Amino acid sequence: MEHAEAVDTLAIERYLLEEMTQEERESFEEHFFSCPECAEDARAAVQMTEGVRSGLARDTAGATAADHGVVVPFRPAPVRWRTSVALPWAAAALLAVGLVYQTAAGPMSARHDPDSFALTPATLRPASRGQEAVLSPGPGGIVTLAVDLGGAQFDHDIRYELARADGKTIASGDAPTPASGAPLLLMLPATTLKGSEQFVLTLHNPGAPGLTPTTYRFRLRAP
């Protein structure tokens, strides 16, 4: 594909809208990998679409509770070509470093020496199993949840919603689906959880709105 043709036919838009034949797609890819102008356009398109897929375009104010750092989803670091389901849990433990970074640098304003910060995640299991966790805030007043997905199926992302027992939503957002067998890690400042004893975390699969959401119930231990 020549540059003029790419511009005249709105090639990047057709590519994003999945309107190209396989031949056209390959031809356009060959072009934008070699054409600096189209490459920059393609890179902007990647940022835009990935941002939208992350839920950044949904809130008119441009920021969701999650973006403010009220809830910080995290997942374990990648293990290439992994075959073991045990590895994601080990990787989850290593993730503590990443959590510390976010905690220290993020808007939650917790300040800790990354070398001495310890996380004490509490495992949440689906409410269908009849379990209700009782949690205590960890260092820095942070509650770290290790959410057992319990075999629930999610496509690319998990949409989570944290609500009080009365149904009032505290925070919500989207997180990439963790590795098979690994928990979804959520960090919350304990101050977020004040005002109610019982909380309900609901996980939705945005790719399959018809599926029943998975719910989790927990309480915060009284100080």
Using CB under 8 A as the criterion, which residues of the chain lie in contact with other proteins when the complex forms?
A: 10, 12-19, 25, 29-30, 32-37, 39-63, 67, 74-78, 80-82, 88, 95, 97-98, 101-102, 153-156, 176-181, 206-207
Report how far residue 120's alpha carbon sits from residue 52's, in angstroms, rounded to the nearest whole number. Answer: 33
Using alpha carbons only, what angle is made at residue 187 by residues 184 and 189, rounded to the nearest 5 degrees?
160
Which residue, chain included where needed, has tokens 């008119």? Answer: 60
Q: Can you say whether residue 125 is alpha, beta or left, with left for phi > 0 and alpha for psi between -120 and 50 degrees?
A: beta
Rounded to the nearest whole angstrom, what is the least distance from the CB of residue 81 to other proteins in the complex? 7
In whole angstroms, how close is the CB of 197 to other proteins at the nearest point? 33
CB nearer other proteins, residue 78 or residue 141: 78
Give whichever of 158 and 188 is closer to other proteins, judged by the CB atom.
158
Helix (H, G, I), strand (E, B) or coil at 176: strand
**Which one, 135 or 157, has the nearer CB to other proteins?**
157
- What's the min distance (Å) between Cβ of 215 and other proteins? 19
For other proteins, the closer CB: 67 or 132: 67
Burial (Cβ within 10 Å: 0-12, 13-18, ≥19) of residue 193: buried
